[in-house]
Amino acid sequence: MKSIEKIAALTDRRVLWILMAIIALALEQTAYQIFQKWLFMRPCEQCVYIRFSMFCLIIAGVAGAIKPENVMLKSIASIVAIYGAVKGIGFSLLLNKIHLALLSGDPFGVQGCSYIPTFPFHLPLHKWFPSTFLPTGDCGIDYPIVPSDAVLGGMQKYLTDLYRDGWYLIPSRRFLNMEQAMLLCFGTFLLAIAVCLVSWIIVEMRKRRRST
């Protein structure tokens, strides 16, 4: 029982929320600054939806870190975080399905990809932040498309060659593609949030029982 109380206590500490925001921001910036801008991997519609989901986790982390002991802020942050993680899992699963269909040559499986995104709540993020949220690539295409006039540095050339067959955590073995890696990330976020939130609810219910 003490372990549940320790886990629940984490939700009252800024470090948990700040850590979530930092990790989500790092993943978001890695996708944009390194893979999109530096390695010329063009984001597709489902890719920018995944970025939106990651952005929800950043917002949740910032909101929770403001005053984590405040029940209202903690509840809002938890709801936003769970929403972002669940949506991210859904978008990653769909993109992985499209990716596998593309590899297998199944034209009927390559659906759900547009250059005009429709974000949740009708947010025009592609108009507000086009460099980040405007799709410029096709779903399932996760390899570098280097412009003909681009002059690549040594490391840049090495990495674009490394990912020429697509992004994989271990390219030589084609182990864990980008969609599956994001699915793992969102799943880990969701599991961590759920465990902490359930523990906190259990502890709060016990406190109320003792006070009555």
Model confidence pLDDT, tens digit, residues 158-205:
999 999 999 999 998 889 999 999 999 999 999 999 999 999 999 888
Residue 149 has pLDDT above 90, yes or no: yes
Q: What is the pLDDT of residues 60-80, one digit of tens each?
A: 999 999 999 999 999 999 999
Helix (H), strand (E), coil (C) string for 118-180 = CCHHHCCHHHHCHHHHCCCCCCCCCCCCCCCCCCCCHHHHHHHHHCCCCCEEEHHHCEEEHHH
Task: Look up 47 and say whether it is catalytic.
Answer: yes
For residue 111, is pLDDT > 70? Answer: no
Phi-psi region of 40 (alpha: psi -120 to 50; beta: other; left: phi over 0): left
Annotated catalytic residue within 56, 139, 185, 196: 139
- Say what the pLDDT of residue 113 is: 82
Asked if the model's pLDDT at residue 110 lies above 70, the reply is no
Look at residue 183 in the predicted model and tell me its pLDDT.
97
Question: Which residue of the set 56, 113, 185, 196 is catalytic?
Answer: 113
Catalytic residue among 13, 42, 44, 174: 44
> Per-residue pLDDT for 109 more than 80?
no
At the top level of CATH, the class of 2-142+178-211 is: mainly alpha
pLDDT tier, 46 (very low <50, low <70, confident <90, very high otherwise): very high
196 is catalytic: no
Q: Where along the chain do its domains lie? A: 2-142+178-211
92 close to 48: Cβ distance less than 8 angstroms = no
Confirm whether 56 is a catalytic residue.
Answer: no
1-19 average pLDDT score: 88
Q: Which of 51, 56, 185, 196 is catalytic?
A: 51
Least confident of 9-13, 101-105, 110-114, 205-209: 110-114
* Of 17-31, 118-132, 193-207, the least confident: 193-207
Residue 51 is among the residues annotated as catalytic for this protein: yes
Distance CA 74, CA 68 (A): 6
pTM of structure: 0.93
Q: What is the pLDDT of residues 164-174, one digit of tens each?
A: 999 999 998 88
Contacts of 56 (CB under 8 A, 6+ apart): 80, 81, 83, 84, 87, 88
Mean pLDDT for the chain overall? 92
Residue 173 annotated among the catalytic residues of the structure: no
What is residue 212's predicted lDDT score, i.e. its pLDDT?
66
